[in-house]
């Protein structure tokens, strides 16, 4: 028998000393198709007139009882096939992910301005718009609440009556004894931090096309980041078995978490129309609808107290985290959990007391966005670290190096980190490479000479747990089959949202493990035809998603080694398969890959396999917030240099120095792409992007003119090559951990610290728009 | 209304509603899927096409306005040497992630390089400031373009 045990296979490949394609900047397989317009995105499947066009009716009230919906006039238009509301849902309308509080289509009540109420199905686009104008909704207004602090106090106005409170969910961590910790502290810093929403602004808005087929199944071309979740949600809404629902995913024009929340709901709405009418149904969000409807990055209020002793060691933290979750919790509890678990930053803290509150308001819901609750808390943590360093009179890097987690230490949830903890090395290496102290000193001199412009250097260091929080089950899987001609198909549920996982790292991993030429590997991504792979979120596409890919490929490789050893009359250990050459390293006898596969078919050796792997996790006790939080952490540090025009309040990031301790780097160019993209998105978040809410809680800037995302002129192009510490994680594929979200997480902290350094004033509130910066300076 | 124009070097004629935007005409009537819909308000640049060799947002143009004009999309440039040089450089430098913005960037860059074979960084930034990208952070796009300056 060949080895089939996933642990054995993973550890065998973990030990690899040299690599053929892993670790190389292999070019993506989708680049040219995308450049010449051949790559298919969602709308490319829509054919006007031959499919129903679906338009959504959205609430124009923030908090109201729906008394009636009258669409009788709309139905008189020739091209209108139907108008559908919650009443028409054959299955279950409730689609809440974390708590059962969210309807697909508003039922009885609306809770935010922009909430979907009805779906109009029309053969013609113009008629769909006409129908929209003809539907009359009668509302009975209720008092709205927009401020989370007020919502926490009010019992007389409940956004969800059934909850009995506007506090939807709470979290906590209790470690050690904070009173003792603070009494041992000689320096204590206390601040309240505020962060704002962020709109994803992926350039492709949400869409789905649902096509009923002859076997009574529904095929959905979807933009969801987790096809199997979309399948589950559709199954629930329609009340039909999941096996009757097939999800496929084309290329997706950016997602960043937003299509993890909204994607399954878009699929369910299109599927509902297709199911009720028997016709293919296409739903696309306009830019305005996209901004009004889908959940946003968390807006937070964080009260943070930290204490250090004379030697600069952290002794205690006390933290209160409030998340404005908007009208629905969506993934709010998970986001709050992540913020809570990470609330110490990547530091050793012996005593911690943390409380988290996820609070309803009548605004757009909070949701998943690159970093998932972590950028806001790291902003607080890292601002505290700089303030502590300042009070102690020591360099911010020095204070961090004293306190950073090292292998063998435990986190604030009491989880011992036994390996893959490269953060201290990382910070040390980055600070040396960029000559941190020298640059800081030079800037301080520069500032003495410069009146109008001030410059500052700041760093953000952060950690990010891989996989789901608190020991919640997570797994990986994939299905691989080698065709008779030697070409290889890999089936995965992981989607291609621009990150390049299926189009680079999966091909590399399979080519490495099988020894087949890279160009023979084809990855079929984003489909429920693959086994449930989990979502493309939480930086898990390569870190977790690829475990299954590696295990499946490694299983087949073991079988091929045996087969080749039979053919070449040697031991399996002597077999080398690389880039399509199969040879015995002793005798140098050789056959070609194609011949080997042909022989496998002839001799009855199976060349297909699944790669199921259930991630080993520990227990977590919710009551005290102690226990196993994550299987491993990725670590990141980014330093930025900023320049502030003190007359206008405008901040520019002039340069960034990123560093990552994310285990084995599978494809450096793709990793750089994630880092550079995250830095630009972080610059946008901190300096330019801000949702404006009107008196009805409506988003006033639901377009890309007034919601400003950075152009090529607004970012820094001076991003240094990343510093890597390859602190490999034993269950990661070749030791890889997650990358996608990382560089975003410390960015708000890094920029805020740099601005604080330049102005010698503590930034506690984001964004750093010119107006807010002038206020900070005292000029407004 | 009948409109005649040159599309990717071919003379074409369509009968359109006077309110129809060029973006819809190109996507729905000619199946040119490289022309992307990102905002429909002239904010993002994903719908960029060349009209008489100049980059224009096709969502801001009515089809009836292009009577007699020359329209180019990436589909019409696949055999063009300069275009090939640009796309290969984009691919090799990792300037393409989700790719939704890519055809728009490439057309804008192509238009620039047609008139200047050694554009300065400022020229490049100026030319591309009307094209948004949410994935790459723009650095690799600029790298791809500076590396082909001859
Ligand atoms: S779709 Fe035309 S500029 Fe955005
Ligand atoms: S690559 Fe995704 S928007 Fe540019």
User: Is B135 an interface residue toward A (CB < 8 Å)?
Assistant: yes
Interchain pair A204, B106: CB under 8 A: no
Instruction: Give the pLDDT of residue A471.
Output: 81
Note the pLDDT tens digit of each residue in A496-522. Answer: 999 999 999 999 999 999 999 999 999
Q: Which of A254, A704, A719 sits opposite B43 (nearest CB)?
A: A704
To test the pocket of ligand 1, the residue of B39, B56, B104 to mutate (highest count of ligand atoms within 8 Å of its CB) is B39
Report CA(A259)–ligand 2 centroid distance (Å): 15
Residue that finishes a domain, picked among B42, B74, B106: B74
For residue A172, is it within any domain?
Answer: no
Query: Tell me, what's the pLDDT at A2?
Result: 78
> A196 lies in a domain?
no
**Taking 80 as the threshold, does the pLDDT of residue A537 lie above it?**
yes
CA of A335 to the centre of ligand 1 (A): 33
Name the closest residue on chain B to residue A45, using Cα atoms. Answer: B33
Ligand 2 nearest atom to the CA of residue B98, by list position: 2
- What values do phi and psi take at A535, rounded to 5? -90, 160
Tens of pLDDT, residues A349-392: 999 999 999 999 999 999 999 999 999 999 999 999 999 999 99
Q: What are the tokens at B20?
A: 């129809």
Q: Which residue bears the tokens 């890919």?
A: A549
Q: Tell me if chain A has a CB within 8 Å of the CB of B148.
A: no
In-domain check, residue A177: no
Averaged pLDDT for residues A114-139: 98
Find the distance separating the first CA and the last CA of chain A, reported in whole Å: 76
CA distance A713 to A172: 43
For residue A331, what pLDDT is reported? Answer: 97
User: What is the structure's pLDDT at A1?
Assistant: 65
Ligand nearest to the CA of A704: 1
In chain B, residues with a C-beta closer than 8 Å to the C-beta of A32 are 87, 91
**Which residues of A are less than 8 Å from B90 in CB distance?**
31, 35
CB A400 within 8 A of CB A463: no
- How many helices (H) and strands (E) chain B has is answered by 5, 5
Task: Taking residues A5-11, report their average pLDDT.
Answer: 96
The answer to whether A310 and A83 are in contact (CB under 8 A) is: no
pLDDT score of A3: 85
* pLDDT (tens digit per residue) in A66-77: 999 999 999 999
Residues A612-641: tens digit of each pLDDT = 999 999 999 999 999 999 999 999 999 999
B19 in reach of chain A (CB within 8 A): no
- Helical spans, DSSP H, in A351-435: 374-392, 396-403, 423-434
List the residue whose alpha carbon is closest to atom 4 of ligand 2: B133
Same domain, A233 and A310: no
State whether residue B36 sits within 8 Å of chain A by CB.
yes
For residues A580 and A516, the answer to whether their CB atoms sit within 8 Å is yes
- For tokens 């409807």, the residue is A293
Do the domain assignments include residue A636?
yes
Contact A420, A632 (CB under 8 A): yes
Q: Where are the beta strands (DSSP E) in A559-649?
A: 575-578, 581-584, 590-592, 608-610, 613-614, 620-621, 626-627, 632-645
Question: Which 3 state secondary structure label does DSSP give B125?
Answer: helix
A606 in the same domain as A518: yes
Q: What are the tens digits of pLDDT across the range A52-67?
A: 999 999 999 999 999 9
Beta partners for residue A627, in sequence order:
A620
Residues A371 and A448 in one domain: yes
Classify residue A409 by burial, with Cβ atoms within 10 Å: 0-12, 13-18, 19+.
middle
Verify that B46 and B90 share a domain, yes or no: no
Does ligand 2 have an atom closer than 6 angstroms to the CB of B111? no
Q: How many CB atoms lie within 10 A of CB A445?
A: 10
Nearest chain B CA: its distance from A689 CA (Å): 13
| CA-based nearest residue to A676, from B131, B134, B144, B121 | B134
Q: What is the CATH number of the domain that holds B110?
A: 1.10.150.120
Angle at alpha carbon of residue A758, lines to A752 and A763, rounded to 5°: 30
**What CATH number should be reported for the domain holding residue B37?**
3.10.20.30
Rg (CA), chain B: 15
Write down the pLDDT at residue A604.
97
* Cβ atoms within 10 Å, residue B138: 27
* Contact flag B137-A713 (C-beta cutoff 8 Å): no
| Chain A residues within an 8 Å CB radius of B38 | 203-205, 253, 287, 704
Instruction: Please indicate whether, in this complex, the C-beta atoms of B33 and A711 are within 8 angstroms of each other.
Output: no
- Residue-averaged pLDDT of chain A: 97
SS3 A198: strand
Q: Does B46 touch chain A (CB under 8 A)?
A: yes
Burial class (CB in 10 A: 0-12, 13-18, 19+), A255: buried
Q: How many CB pairs under 8 A join A and B?
A: 168
- Please state, in angstroms and rounded to a whole number, the distance separating the CA atoms of residues A275 and A104: 15
- A204 chain-B contacts, CB cut-off 8 A: 36, 38, 98, 100
Q: With CB atoms and an 8 Å threshold, state whether B90 touches A679.
A: no
Residue of A554, A562, A549 whose CA lies nearest to A605? A562
Q: How far is B93 from chain A (nearest CA, A)?
A: 8
Whole-angstrom distance, CA of residue B16 vs CA of residue B63: 7
pLDDT, tens digit (0-9, with 9 covering 90-100), for A13-43: 999 999 999 999 999 999 999 999 999 999 9
The answer to whether residue A780 scores a pLDDT higher than 70 is no
Choosing from B45, B100, B128, B137 the residue with most ligand 2 atoms within 8 A of its CB, the one to mutate for a pocket test is B100
A434 and A536 part of one domain: no
| Interface probe, candidates A26, A201, A203, A739, chain B, greatest B C-beta count within 10 A | A203
Residue holding tokens 């790719």?
Answer: B99
The residue contributing the CA closest to ligand 2 atom 3 is B133
Statement to judge: residues A434 and A566 lie in one domain: no
Nearest CB to A36; choose among B27, B87, B133: B87
CB contact set of A412 (below 8 Å; sequence gap of 6+):
A173, A175, A317, A341, A343, A344, A349, A352, A354
Are residues A453 and A599 located together in one domain of the fold? no
- Longest CA pairwise span in chain A (Å): 85
What is the distance between the alpha carbons of residues A663 and B23, in angstroms, rounded to a whole number? 45
Residues B67 and B100 in one domain: no
| Residue A290 belongs to a domain | no
Q: Which of A178-192, A356-370, A465-479 has the lowest mean pLDDT?
A: A465-479
Please report, for the domain that includes residue A532, its CATH number.
3.30.365.10
Atom of ligand 1 nearest to the CA of A704: 4
Q: Tell me the β-bridge partners of A660.
A: A636, A724
Digits of tens for pLDDT over chain B (150 positions)?
999 999 999 999 999 999 999 999 999 999 999 999 999 999 999 999 999 999 999 999 999 999 999 999 999 999 999 999 999 999 999 999 999 999 999 999 999 999 998 999 999 999 999 999 999 999 999 999 999 987
pLDDT at residue A472 in the model: 86
CB-CB contact of A56 with A289 (8 Å): yes
Report the alpha-carbon distance of residue A262 to residue A10 in Å, rounded. 34
Which of A284, A319, A345 is where one domain is finished? A284
- Residue A550 CA to ligand 2 center (angstroms) comes to 28
- Locate A774 and state its tokens: 């002038």
CA of B26 to the centre of ligand 1 (A): 13
What does the alpha-carbon distance between residue A227 and residue A229 come to, in Å, rounded to a whole number? Answer: 5
Q: Are A404 and A202 in contact (CB under 8 A)?
A: no
Q: Is there a single domain that holds both residue B68 and residue B39?
A: yes
Instruction: State how far the Cα of A714 lies from the Cα of B133, in Å rounded to an integer.
Output: 12
Residues A604 and A713 in one domain: no
The pLDDT value recorded for residue A779 is 62
Cβ <8 Å between A678 and B46: no
The answer to whether residue A100 sits within a structural domain is yes
pLDDT, one tens digit per residue, over A417-438 is: 999 999 999 999 999 999 999 9
Domain termination residue (choose one: B33, B54, B74): B74
**How many domains is chain A built from?**
3
Boundary of a domain, candidates A251, A284, A317: A284
Are A309 and A278 found together in one domain?
Answer: no
| Domain region containing B116 | 77-147
Chain B residue with CA closest to A669: the answer is B94
Q: From the list A205, A680, A705, which residue is nearest B41 (CB)?
A: A705
Picking from A114, A180, A123, the residue whose alpha carbon sits closest to that of residue A144 is: A114
Does residue A318 sit in the same domain as residue A395?
A: yes
Please indicate whether residue B136, judged by its CB atom, sits closer than 6 Å to ligand 2: yes
Chain A residues inside the 8 Å CB shell of B133: 203, 712
ipTM of the assembly? 0.98
Q: How many domains does chain B divide into?
A: 2
Shortest Cα–Cα distance, A273 to chain B (Å)? 22
Query: Do A691 and A550 belong together in one domain?
Result: no
Q: Tell me which DSSP letter residue A684 carries.
A: I
Residue A667: closest CA among chain B residues belongs to which residue?
B94
Whether A28 and A84 map to the same domain: the answer is no
CA closest to B26 among chain A residues: A44
Could A35 and B91 be called an inter-chain contact, meaning their C-beta atoms sit closer than 8 Å? Answer: yes
For residue A103, give its domain range.
42-142+206-284
Which CATH number is A98's domain given? 3.90.1170.50
pLDDT value of residue A576: 97
For the stretch A719-771, pLDDT in tens is 999 999 999 999 999 999 999 999 999 999 999 999 999 999 999 999 999 99
Residue A187 lies in a domain: no
- Residue A174: φ, ψ to 5°: -130, 120
Inter-chain CB proximity A709 and B132 less than 8 Å: yes
Tokens standing for A377? 């808390």
Q: Find the CB nearest A32 among B91, B101, B136.
A: B91
């Amino acid at each position: 028998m060949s080895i089939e045990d996933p642990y054995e296979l993973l550890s065998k490949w973990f030990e690899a000393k040299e690599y053929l394609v892993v670790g190389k900047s292999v070019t993506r397989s989708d680049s040219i198709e995308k450049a010449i317009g051949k790559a298919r995105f969602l709308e490319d499947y829509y054919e006007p007139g031959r499919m129903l066009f679906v338009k959504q009716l959205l609430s124009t009230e923030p908090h109201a009882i729906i008394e009636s919906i009258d669409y009788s006039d709309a139905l008189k238009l020739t091209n209108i096939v139907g108008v559908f509301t919650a009443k028409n849902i054959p299955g279950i309308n409730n689609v809440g992910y974390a708590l059962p509080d969210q309807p697909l289509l508003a039922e009885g009540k609306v809770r935010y301005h922009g909430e979907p109420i009805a779906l109009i199905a029309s053969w013609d686009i113009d008629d769909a718009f006409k129908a929209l104008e003809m539907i009359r909704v009668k509302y009975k207004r209720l008092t709205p609440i927009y401020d989370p602090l007020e919502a926490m106090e009010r019992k007389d106005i409940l956004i969800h009556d059934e909850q009995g409170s506007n506090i939807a969910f709470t979290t906590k961590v209790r470690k050690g004894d904070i009173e003792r910790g603070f009494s041992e502290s000689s320096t204590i810093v206390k601040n309240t931090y505020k962060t704002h929403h962020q709109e994803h602004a992926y350039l492709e808005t949400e869409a789905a096309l649902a096509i009923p087929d002859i076997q009574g199944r529904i095929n959905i071309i979807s933009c969801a980041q987790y096809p199997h979740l979309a399948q589950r949600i559709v199954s629930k809404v329609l009340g039909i078995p999941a096996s009757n629902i097939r999800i496929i995913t084309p290329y997706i024009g950016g997602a960043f978490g937003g299509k993890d929340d909204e994607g399954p709901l878009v699929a369910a709405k299109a599927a509902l129309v297709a199911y009720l009418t028997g016709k293919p149904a296409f739903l696309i969000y306009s830019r305005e609808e996209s901004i009004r409807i889908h959940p946003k990055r968390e807006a937070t209020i964080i009260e943070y107290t930290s204490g250090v002793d004379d030697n600069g060691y952290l002794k205690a933290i006390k933290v209160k985290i409030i998340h404005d979750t908007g009208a629905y919790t969506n993934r709010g509890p998970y986001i709050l959990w992540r913020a809570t678990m990470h609330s110490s930053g990547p530091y050793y803290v012996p005593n911690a007391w943390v409380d988290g509150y996820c609070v309803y308001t009548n605004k757009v819901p909070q949701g998943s966005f690159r970093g998932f609750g972590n950028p806001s808390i790291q902003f607080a943590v890292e601002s505290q670290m700089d303030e502590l360093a300042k009070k102690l009179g020591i360099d911010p890097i020095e204070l961090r190096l004293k306190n950073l987690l090292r292998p063998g230490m435990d986190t604030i949830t009491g989880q011992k980190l036994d390996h893959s903890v490269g953060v201290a090395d990382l910070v040390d290496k980055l600070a040396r490479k960029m000559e941190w102290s020298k640059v800081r000193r030079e800037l301080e001199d520069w500032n003495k000479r410069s009146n109008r412009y001030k410059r500052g250097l700041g760093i953000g260091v952060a950690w990010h747990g891989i996989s789901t929080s608190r020991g919640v089950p997570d797994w990986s899987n994939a299905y691989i089959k080698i065709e008779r001609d030697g070409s290889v198909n890999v089936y995965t549920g992981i989607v291609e949202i621009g990150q390049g996982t299926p189009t680079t790292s999966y091909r590399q991993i399979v080519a490495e493990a099988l020894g087949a030429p890279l160009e023979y590997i084809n990855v079929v991504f984003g489909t429920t035809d693959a086994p449930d792979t989990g979502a493309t979120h939480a930086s898990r596409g390569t870190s977790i998603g690829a475990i299954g890919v590696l295990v499946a490929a490694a299983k087949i490789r073991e079988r091929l080694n045996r087969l080749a050893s039979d053919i070449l009359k040697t031991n399996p250990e002597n077999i080398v398969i690389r880039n399509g050459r199969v040879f015995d390293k002793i005798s140098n006898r050789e056959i070609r890959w194609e011949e080997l596969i042909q022989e496998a078919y002839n001799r009855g050796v199976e060349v297909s396999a699944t790669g199921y792997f259930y991630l080993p996790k520990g227990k977590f006790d919710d009551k005290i917030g102690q226990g196993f939080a994550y299987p491993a952490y990725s670590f990141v540090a980014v330093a930025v240099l900023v320049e502030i025009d003190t007359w206008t309040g405008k901040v520019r990031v002039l340069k960034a120095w990123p560093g990552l301790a994310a285990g084995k780097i599978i494809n450096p160019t793709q990793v750089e792409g994630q880092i550079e993209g995250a830095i630009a998105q972080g610059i946008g978040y901190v300096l330019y992007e801000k949702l404006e809410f009107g008196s009805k809680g409506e988003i006033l800037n639901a377009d890309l003119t007034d919601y400003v995302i950075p152009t090529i002129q607004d970012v820094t192009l001076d991003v240094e090559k990343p510093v890597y510490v390859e602190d490999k994680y034993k269950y990661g594929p070749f030791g890889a951990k997650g990358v996608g979200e990382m560089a975003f997480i410390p960015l708000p902290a890094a920029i805020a610290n740099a601005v604080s350094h330049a102005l010698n004033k503590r930034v506690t509130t984001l964004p750093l728009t010119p107006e807010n910066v002038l206020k900070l300076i005292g000029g407004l | 209304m009948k409109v005649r124009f040159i599309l990717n070097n071919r003379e074409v004629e369509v009968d359109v509603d006077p309110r129809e935007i060029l973006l819809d005409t190109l996507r729905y009537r000619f199946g040119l899927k490289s022309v992307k819909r990102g905002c429909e308000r002239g904010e993002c640049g994903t719908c960029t096409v060349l009209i008489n060799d100049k980059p224009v947002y096709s969502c801001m143009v009515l089809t009836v306005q292009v009577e007699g004009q020359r329209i180019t999309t990436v589909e019409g440039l696949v055999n063009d040497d300069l275009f090939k040089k640009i796309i290969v450089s984009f691919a090799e430098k990792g300037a393409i992630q989700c790719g939704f913005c890519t055809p728009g960037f490439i057309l804008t860059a192509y238009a620039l390089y047609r008139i200047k074979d050694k554009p300065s960084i400022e020229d490049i930034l100026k030319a591309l400031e009307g094209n948004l990208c949410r994935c790459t952070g723009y650095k690799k796009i600029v790298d791809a373009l500076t590396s082909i300056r001859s």
